Amino acid sequence: MEGRVIAAHGRQYVVQLEDGSRLPCFPRGKKSEIACGDRVILQRTSEDQGVIEAIAPRSSLLYRSNEIRQKLIAANVDQVIIVVATEPGFSDELITRALLAAESEEIEPLIVLNKCDLVEKLPAAREQLAMYAQQGYRILELSARAHAEDLRPALSGHTSVLVGQSGMGKSTLVNALIPEAGAATREISTALDSGKHTTTHATLYTLDDSSFLIDSPGLQEFGLGHLDRQEIEHAFREFRPFLGDCRFRDCRHDREPGCALTAAVAEGKIDARRFALYHRIVGTARSG
Ligand SMILES: Nc1nc2c(ncn2[C@@H]2O[C@H](COP(=O)(O)OP(=O)(O)O)[C@@H](O)[C@H]2O)c(=O)[nH]1
Ligand SMILES: [Mg+2]
Ligand SMILES: [Zn+2]
């Protein structure tokens, strides 16, 4: 049998079968590297349980990682929607890391600024996001509470995953766009026995035949241990014209003479805040 993983929680998964029914499944073997959105081959082992035998080749895999392990976020997505809000405050480093993860998998990013109904907080949030707009990243302003529909056109024809810190309004968006989401979440939580009806696991929802949306648990950090320095450099879009122009081929763009990136920052061609984030992310931030 074939199916699609619509929820992932630890080593437990819910797979949607071709007839639309859902089956809780475990992976075959100890290691489970299956993500929400994966297309899988499975076998029914009982009326209400299956085992996942194999994963079909993926078009993309969004994940984060620390030194020890990978944390899969979603498979086969072609759009990452980074949700931030006018309040609570959001982290530039987290946005940047999510953008880098998307760039490295060639997944199109979209930044959503939610809670725009909180108008007194709007100017500061816009100012914080200006840096990303300047790099050409798409930014969509909306209010999940009042006008969640504003997001729908951007979802059409895509498999998208919502990522972001908790409290930004991801679940509010999902519940407004997908009326049956609440019931589905309860059903899946019961199947996964996660005990909570909040988003403790990633969940895939079907919008129409060609549009899917994955809600993911809130992120506190977004480790990029799987990317090396060159990959990170390259994922900062605006660095690309200058890469390879430093005097030293192994330039760390720190204090080396003849550094093309440092020169570009001095000339205002690269935003100093983006450059500082780069150093933070590659772990070469100056301490003083
Ligand atoms: N004012 C306002 N509050 C919102 C909006 N969207 C979500 N919230 C509130 O923000 C809080 C966190 O929302 P939630 O969807 O749980 O965030 P998540 O952790 O990203 O899934 C909840 O109290 C929501 O009611 C919005 O557009 N405007
Ligand atoms: Mg949530
Ligand atoms: Zn350099």
- Reported as a single tens digit per residue, the pLDDT across 90-117 is 999 999 999 999 999 999 999 999 999 9
Tell me: do 187 and 134 sit in the same domain.
yes
Last residue of a domain, one of 215, 243, 271: 215
CB-neighbour burial class of residue 39 (10 A; exposed 0-12, middle 13-18, buried 19+)? middle
pLDDT at 196: 54
Residue 76 lies in a domain: yes
- CATH of residue 248: 1.10.40.50
Mean of pLDDT values over 214-242: 92
Nearest-CA residue for ligand 1 atom 9 is 169
In the listed set 35, 55, 75, which residue is the last one of a domain according to the structure?
Answer: 55
* pLDDT(247) > 70: yes
How many domains are there within the chain? 3
- Would you say residue 94 lies in a domain? yes
157 in the same domain as 39 = no
Is 124 contained in some domain? yes
Cα–Cα distance measured from residue 245 to residue 237, given in angstroms and rounded to the nearest whole number: 15
Measured in whole angstroms, how far is the alpha carbon of residue 45 from the centre of its chain?
33
* pLDDT band with cut points at 50, 70 and 90 for residue 287: very low
Tokens 């998307």 found at: 102
Shared domain check, 178 and 197: yes
End-of-domain residue from the set 11, 34, 55: 55
Give the environment of ion ligand 3: residues with CB less than 5 A.
246, 251, 253, 259, 261
Residue 197, domain CATH: 3.40.50.300
287 is a domain residue: no
Hey, which of 90, 172, 219 would you mutate to test ligand 1's pocket, going by the most ligand atoms within 8 Å of its Cβ?
Answer: 172
Domain-embedded: residue 120 = yes
Q: Check whether residue 28 and residue 85 sit in a common domain.
A: no
pLDDT band per the 50, 70, 90 thresholds, residue 1: very high
Residues 98 and 172 in one domain: yes
Residues 69 and 210 grouped into a single domain = yes
C-alpha count within 13 angstroms, C-beta hemisphere, residue 253: 29
For 91, the domain range is 61-215
The yes-or-no verdict on residue 27 having pLDDT over 50 is yes
- The enclosing domain of 21 has a CATH number of 2.40.50.140
Same domain assignment for residues 205 and 235? no
Residues 70 and 140 in one domain: yes
* CA–centroid distance for 206 within its chain: 18
Q: Which atom of ligand 1 is nearest to the CA of 172?
A: 15
Chain Cα centroid distance, residue 231: 18
Q: What is the pLDDT of residue 8?
A: 87
Q: Return the number of other C-beta atoms located less than 10 Å from residue 125's C-beta.
A: 21
169 and 276, same domain (yes or no): no
Q: Is 177 in the pocket of ligand 1 (CB under 6 A)?
A: no
